[in-house]
Structure 1
Amino acid sequence: MSAPAGPSASAPATEVRFHHSTDFADVLEAAGCSLLISTYQAGQVVAVGVAEGRPTLSFRRFDQAMGLAVGEDRLAVGGKGQVWLLRDHSDLAPSMPPAGRHDRCWLPRSSIVTGSIQCHEIAWGASATGEPDLWVVNTRFSCLAGLDSRYSFVPRWRPPFISALAAQDRCHLNGLAMRDGAPAFVTVMAASDEPGGWRRSRNDSGAVLDVASGGTVTSGLAMPHSPRWYDDGLLVLNSGMGRLEAVDLATGERTVVATFPGYARGLALHGGLAFVGLSRIRDTAVFGGAPIASYHDQLKCGVGIVELATGSTVATFEFATGVEEIFDVQAVSGVRCPTFGDTAGDGDDIWVLPAQ
């Protein structure tokens, strides 16, 4: 299929071809969810749903799209120099073409300019006011941050080995696991306090840190991403090895849950399933030395769906052209077929007005 490269009429089209296992749509329907996928390199967020027993895709351009945070009535997208805020307009979804297909629609309402903080994962947390509170992994400044319209960002936490806030990407803090509405665990590629120090030895220097204590939960990972707290346990992607691993909090030991034919980054957990983002490795100094790079010609870009109880892959979705890298994957519970509105790619505006 040909997917629009952005919401504006002047944006060129990018051809995106994909294929999937025969039971991919059935697995999504049985799980009662749809997927949101961010593609850093292609600059798109993709909503994947099911209609008439077949997968559907809706695209919206966000330059350097990375972290996704799904709330009850809102969606946040971390992008180049800003964080976008979209609101749910499900009342409009059934009227989006083709009429009657969609049951969720997110439309951009605002953005907060952060500057180039290299925003990675983001997550909604609880707050004293009852309003959702957005936590941002600020990779360039090696900290967790909040957003405020008066500032670029508001620093909230940093690893104990980071001596000062500086725009130096010292440890490549990149992933965030929430627990009970608050940050619980983060991933770093190295416990470095030097500018870009994580780049020196990244294939066995990655770690998961406990936010409350600042201590190391487990170490020796290859470029880890996407820690997640699920069903009273901690999971993490050992990205450079292409593996999903379970972490024993008492010992720091890890058990391999599943192995994938791709650089594993982006993890959603829902209904006993793990939805894992897979990327082909760019031939750069950052990814070229990863252990999984030895299998460069065999690597896939897409999403693998794994049954957590058995570690078996039950369905796959693969981008054949147009997308090379996945950053984040989110499962949207109770949603069958979502859209971003501009499914035709013609750039037509969608006007949302208060009741008159």
Structure 2
Amino acid sequence: MLYRFGAGLGPMLARGVGGMAFEPQGDLHLNELAKSIVKNGTAENKETKGDPIFIVNTSRGFTTWLKQQNASLAVTTYQVGKLFLFGVQPDGKLWVFNRNIGRCLGLVVNGNELWVTGDTQIFNFVDAMEKGQKSTEGHDALFVPQVGYFTGDLDAHDLAVGGDGTLVFVNTLFNCLATVSSSYSFKPLWKPSFISRMAAEDRCHLNGLALRDGRPAFVTAVAMSDTFDGWRDQRPNGGIVIDVDSGKIVCSGLSMPHSPRWHRDRLWIHNSGTGEFGWVDLNTNTFNPICFCPGYLRGLSFIGNFAVMGMSKPRDNKTFSGLALDQLLGDRNMEPRCGLYVVDLDSGDIVHSLTIEGVVTELYDVAVIAGKIQPAALGPAGPEIRRTISFGG
């Protein structure tokens, strides 16, 4: 049972959304969020004159499609430390909800649970609403933080929940797969064979994780490096995909690959440094792109035969400089974008989009929340968590 006392989620209006009014809710009015981001120096806003802004635009059929799928989307942005929830309101308008999480990257939805990484913790949120229940505010799910594992700053990236219920995450700082522990900061589970020892040196920038049959099966890394920060010198074409069981490299020559996922008997990945999304042929060890997207790709989830992927604007620093993506965008006379693309896996066509303008320019992960179209969440801090109680029995 969910019991809330003295807690209200008042509506807050953003600057605009593709000509549609909507009421984003959560921790902060999104224009005030934009102002605070710039004031605190956590994101630059070179393109916007006057007050910093946060604008969401969707393609014409995006909300209709999302409602037809009976689903909503969770998205992380470590740039501003936010978890965003995108759904559909009863009147068909876009639903946007945000919560402060800290430096959040990896995200996974498992049944009624949502796991997300933070600065020094990995959080477990549970939907506290009963099946079919709706709140007075209209949302049909309320993800409440229940457990937080203190890990220290491991630069944890992708998350996954195994078939046996074990949470597995990519411990990028220590170049390994790990799980949470009630006694230690983390428990290592696996590391690439070319990593000679456990060291807090981010040697290969291990970042992505794919499960197959409920077990860790494939990981992505930016380079096969065993020296401190050695991956940075191999960003353009040193990227690899590793088979976890055999330890063998099943695809190489990639540019900063991210977000491997096993779906419908194929291994899908982002070749982020080239803006390409595609699949790995495990017989020929080759990457087969099916579409180009105008941004740095990270985050991947699926709804049936559709892929939902996150897209960021390349940053003006050495991590993103010198990649083929810049040249490819120039050749197509395109500007980089931030947002979500929905891609048909059969044709490679981009069928729907959600773009973000203003101070938010980078996303990391995206997850589908099946069966919920207007979700909300409580943050791990703030007055609402004090006044929202759930109990069993």
Q: Calculate the TM-score normalised by the size of structure 2.
A: 0.83
Give the SS at the match of 1:102: coil
- Which of 101, 125, 138 matches 1:86? 125
C-alpha displacement at 1:347, in angstroms? 4.7
Task: Name the CA shift for 1:93/1:81 in 2 (closer, same or farther; >3 Å).
Answer: farther
Q: Is the 8 A contact 2:25 2:96 kept in 1?
A: no
List gaps (5 residues or longer) in structure 1. none
Tell me if 1:285 matches 2:285: no
CA RMSD of aligned residues (A): 2.3
Q: Is the 8 A contact 2:24 2:96 kept in 1?
A: no
Q: Is the 8 A contact 1:7 1:347 kept in 2?
A: no
The answer for the alignment partner of 1:150 in structure 2 is 183
Task: Name the CA shift for 1:8/1:263 in 2 (closer, same or farther; >3 Å).
Answer: closer
The answer for the alignment partner of 1:42 in structure 2 is 80
Tell me if 1:301 matches 2:334: no
The answer for the alignment partner of 2:239 in structure 1 is 206
C-alpha displacement at 1:241, in angstroms? 0.7
Alignment map for 1:16-31 (pairs within 5 Å) = 16-31=54-69
Q: Is the 8 A contact 2:278 2:288 kept in 1?
A: yes
Tell me how far apart the structure 1 counterparts of residues 26 and 134 of structure 2 sit (CA, whole Å).
21
C-alpha displacement at 1:126, in angstroms? 2.3
Aligned amino acid, residue 339 of structure 1 = A
The answer for the alignment partner of 2:389 in structure 1 is 352
Q: Is the 8 A contact 2:85 2:96 kept in 1?
A: yes
C-alpha displacement at 1:346, in angstroms? 8.8
Tell me how far apart the structure 1 counterparts of residues 65 and 139 of structure 2 sit (CA, whole Å).
18
C-alpha displacement at 1:85, in angstroms? 1.2
How many residues end up aligned between the 2 structures? 346
Tell me if 1:32 matches 2:70: yes
Tell me how far apart the structure 2 counterparts of residues 95 and 26 of structure 1 sit (CA, whole Å).
21
C-alpha displacement at 1:92, in angstroms? 9.5
How big is each residue's C-alpha offset from its partner over 1:42-67, in whole Å with a ceiling of 9 and x where there is no partner? 11011111112121011111111100
Tell me if 1:54 matches 2:93: yes
Q: Is the 8 A contact 1:93 1:105 kept in 2?
A: no
The answer for the alignment partner of 1:124 in structure 2 is 161
The sequence identity of aligned pairs, in percent, is: 37
Alignment map for 1:1-356 (pairs within 5 Å) = 1-2=13-14, 7=27, 13-14=33-34, 15-51=53-89, 52-91=91-130, 96-98=135-137, 101-127=138-164, 132-294=165-327, 295=329, 298-341=335-378, 347-349=383-385, 350-354=387-391
Task: Name the CA shift for 1:175/1:310 in 2 (closer, same or farther; >3 Å).
Answer: same
C-alpha displacement at 1:8, in angstroms? 8.5
Aligned amino acid, residue 137 of structure 1 = V
Please identify, of 137-146 and 77-86, the stretch whose mean Cα deviation from structure 2 is larger: 77-86
Task: Name the CA shift for 1:256/1:8 in 2 (closer, same or farther; >3 Å).
Answer: closer
Q: Is the 8 A contact 1:5 1:44 kept in 2?
A: no
C-alpha displacement at 1:354, in angstroms? 2.3
How big is each residue's C-alpha offset from its partner over 1:255-311, in whole Å with a ceiling of 9 and x where there is no partner? 111110110110111210010100001111111222113438700000000011111
Give the SS at the match of 1:190: coil
Tell me how far apart the structure 2 counterparts of residues 273 and 5 of structure 1 sit (CA, whole Å).
28
List gaps (5 residues or longer) in structure 2. 1-12, 15-22, 35-52
Tell me how far apart the structure 1 counterparts of residues 24 and 69 of structure 2 sit (CA, whole Å).
28
C-alpha displacement at 1:32, in angstroms? 2.5
Please identify, of 252-261 and 213-222, the stretch whose mean Cα deviation from structure 2 is larger: 252-261
Tell me how far apart the structure 2 counterparts of residues 273 and 8 of structure 1 sit (CA, whole Å).
32
